[in-house]
Amino acid sequence: MVRSRRMTLVFVLVVALALVALGVSVVLGGLGQADQLASVIGVLVGFAGIGFSTFGAERGRSSGAHLRGIRRVAVASEGTGILHLFAVTRHGLVVRRSYRQGTGTWSDPVDAQFPGRRARDVAAVATGHDRIECFVADRDGRLWSTAVEGDHVLPWRQLDPTRHSGAVVAIDAMSGWARHRELYAVGHDGALQHRWKWDGQPWSAWHAAHRNDCRDVALSVPTKDHMECFVIDRDGQVQHRWYRDERWSDWQPLHDPGDGFAGVALSAVNGSDRHQEVFVVGAGGELAHRWHWRDEGWDRWHRIEHSDEFVDVAVGATSPMRMECLAVGASGMLWQRSYNPSDGWSTWRQVRDD
């Protein structure tokens, strides 16, 4: 839409300048008719070249998708061996691509053509067969959504304004049941709220999640009818609550990995039924995780060694207990490590554009 407006403006400008050139040529009348026509055509071609060069530069900025300069990242999978990635760049663009577990290969990056002013945060969730939904909060605090259905990408739509928590700074989404999606949003004042939608029905109103000190939020669905919400509070501590038996629990602390670790970003994943794992990035670029398995309690925090300074993390399961961890470095580069039950976690490798 934005690109179409720019192209129209460029075309109008070219035509206007050509008409001016024609008028000047007629008024001067110093050239023969053939020379006059050739002169006008030359001027027209010159202005057209300038105009389309300008449009081409704009188009290059919007379609030259790459995975450098990333700031935030989100992933989602139906558990069929494909991981869908959505990334926000430092310029506020949204880039998407997919990873195939079987071949270990990535598709080419694609500009998602985000229509908002500049994207700030992104969330993704599988909501049905061959359907991945993406939510984006822009720099103006507005929320947008789109969906990928196979090879078809639906147009972006703006959600109605977040009336209670003001401008949105962090989001995450989950699907607790078929045809259901639930969106959590952190406002600029730290207030956490959520809303939900079923297929064929409108979005619910926003509901308070009874926290006003949040920096980031992550969601998981370890079993049917069981949802969990994790947040990092302003002290860098991890807190969580869960939904069972049609009610939400009170908030409980998961604390932090210790040694001065203060969380700034987090992600949660369900590797299989009754399993969940939470990953947290620290203010110093550290990364740690802990997990909860079946009916056992939470394991202790484990530090994850790496060579970069991380600023964000997203983790998804491509099939039962096959997990992919994507982390964003301070330089904007994207890093990946993979987990399978027989080999454990792989070493880190950089995700490149080629």
C-alpha–C-alpha distance, residues 106 and 288, integer Å: 26
312 is in which domain, residue-wise?
A: 66-351
Question: Do 76 and 21 belong together in one domain?
Answer: no
Q: Supply the DSSP symbol for 260.
A: T
Question: Do 242 and 336 belong together in one domain?
Answer: yes
The Cα-based distances of 161 to 158, 185, 230 in angstroms read: 8, 12, 24
List the beta bridge partners of residue 92: none
Question: Do 237 and 137 belong together in one domain?
Answer: yes
Question: Do 165 and 109 belong together in one domain?
Answer: yes
Question: Do 119 and 45 belong together in one domain?
Answer: no
The CATH code of the domain that includes 256 is 2.120.10.70
Question: Do 83 and 127 belong together in one domain?
Answer: yes
pLDDT at residue number 162? 57
Question: Do 58 and 70 belong together in one domain?
Answer: no
DSSP letters along 4-27, please? HHHHHHHHHHHHHHHHHHHHHHHH
Question: Do 56 and 190 belong together in one domain?
Answer: no
pLDDT band at 57 (very low <50, low <70, confident <90, very high): very low
Question: Do 14 and 118 belong together in one domain?
Answer: no
CB atoms within 10 A of CB 150: 9
pLDDT at 202 over 90: yes
Question: Do 28 and 73 belong together in one domain?
Answer: no
Given 62, 84, 107, which residue is the final one in a domain? 62
Question: Do 274 and 150 belong together in one domain?
Answer: yes
Nearest to 320 by CA among 342, 335, 302, 352: 342
pLDDT at 16 over 80: no
Given 40, 62, 84, which residue is the final one in a domain? 62
Question: Do 56 and 178 belong together in one domain?
Answer: no
DSSP letters along 64-90, please? ---SSSEEEEEEE--SSSEEEEEEEET
Which pLDDT tens digit goes with each residue over 300-318?
999 999 999 999 999 999 9
Count structural domains, the chain: 2
Instruction: Please indicate, yes or no, whether the overall pTM of this predicted structure exceeds 0.85.
Output: no
pLDDT at 212 over 50: yes
Which pLDDT tens digit goes with each residue over 85-144?
999 999 999 999 999 999 999 999 999 999 998 999 999 999 988 899 999 999 988 999
Given 62, 90, 107, which residue is the final one in a domain? 62
